[in-house]
Amino acid sequence: MNTENQLGAKIKFLRKSMGYTQQQLAELANIDDKHLSKIENGIHEPSFKTLQSLSKVLNFDLLNMGATPQENNPLIQNHIYQKAMKILNSAKSEKELQNYYDALKLANRLMK
């Protein structure tokens, strides 16, 4: 995977982790959504100004952008927690709740 693809994949990961669509992120970062799509797909290399805008919205440090995105980012953790609670609260039976719990335990083991 080339550098543009890696950078685009990291931006896409952070965007999705924070629950933004491409259109929402593009609007917040004041860039064109088609350009964002091409960045995420490794077709375009973002300018420094574009990276600055994205870093402010997605709360990442430009100096550490080369590092693998970490799930220990408080904003990402909060977003994951909110999604998990929404799913758990939607359970219609104890069996369904147990299935969700088992899936979360398995995912947790796989992440370690």
- How do the pLDDT tens digits run along the chain, 112 residues long? 555 578 888 899 889 988 899 999 999 999 999 999 999 999 998 888 898 899 889 888 766 665 445 555 666 666 677 777 788 888 888 888 888 887 777 766 665 5
Residue 6, amino acid? Q
Q: What is the CA radius of gyration of the chain?
A: 17
**Contact yes or no for 57/29 (Cβ under 8 A):** yes
* pTM summary value: 0.58
Number of domains in the chain: 2
**Contact yes or no for 2/42 (Cβ under 8 A):** yes
**Contact yes or no for 3/42 (Cβ under 8 A):** no
pLDDT of residue 68: 47
Structural domain boundaries enclosing 13? 3-64
Domain co-membership, 57 together with 83: no
pLDDT of residue 17: 86
Q: Domain for residue 69, yes or no? A: no
Domain co-membership, 22 together with 56: yes
